[in-house]
Amino acid sequence: MIELAAFKEHRVILAFSDYLKSRGISNTIEVEPDRFALILHKEEDVELARQELQGFLQNPQDKRYWQASWQTGQVIKQKLDDDGMGFAQMMQNLWARSGVFTLSIAVVCVLVYGLLLALGQPVFDALSYPTDIKNTYQYWRLISPVFLHFGAMHLIFNLIWWWDLGGLIERTQSKMQLFGVFLATALLSNFGQSMAFGNANNFGGLSGVVYGLLGYVWLYPLANPRVGFRLNPAIVIFMLAWLAIGYSGLLDNVFGKMANDAHLIGLLTGVILGCAFGMLHRLVGEVKGAD
């Protein structure tokens, strides 16, 4: 299942969904707290659906979309009673917001946290950043600090953001795109934090990558407006405020010394990648549209 686009307005996405169905493109609408996501069922439909999406975004009031709603339209069921959704449905919705790579990184973080609690220092020594980067042959340690978390809240906070932002990239683009953003932000944020700490290796966590994802998801749709998602401005404000508070030192007594430079470098890396890939994908889309 592939997410094609997301809209704020129910009636708008419903019209487009029904139009795609009239063209033989199977899809469903996933109802989320702040948006409606259109999910394609077959990968072979993606190219045609994207072409149709481009036409829809250029002229959403075209009568063909609304005529399709009268012919095939359905009402989305959204459970509003106090019983809540069943566990199976909740897990299905949770999975729908992620993908294989998103899940894999989350599982690794949880497993490493368990091993760190059980075994302590040997796990830290095996995964922490090398203090002598020029002479190390343990190359995995250039990335592995992102899997180290030093408290349950530290782990949960990072995984919530990873699942939401990473899952968005994997659903709307690809697992390889998410892997590339993950790799770049992990390498650069770890390196930057090591330099800021004077080659010390007493840091860890996925938060540098999370800030990288934030920067990517924030700037990508600005560089490529035709993409079907937008980052809520409130999220950007909250994360930037958290970054500023971290640099102020006010949270050091609560959370210990924070890896603020990893956050900043991760954010800047994500911003650059979001701009670069957004413009690249927009140009590719324009070339294909011209053909």
Q: Is 207 a known active-site residue?
A: yes
User: How many C-beta neighbours within 10 Å does residue 172 have?
Assistant: 21
Reported as type and span, the H/E element at residue 282 is helix 260-290
* Catalytic site residue from 17, 144, 194, 207: 207
* Catalytic site residue from 154, 194, 263, 281: 263
How far apart are the C-alpha atoms of 90 and 104, rounded to whole Å?
A: 19
How far apart are the C-alpha atoms of 35 and 10, rounded to whole Å?
A: 8
Question: Residue 242: is it exposed, middle or buried by C-beta count within 10 angstroms (0-12/13-18/19+)?
Answer: middle
CA torsion, points 158, 28, 171, 267, in degrees to nearest 10?
-50
Q: Which residues are catalytic?
A: 207, 263
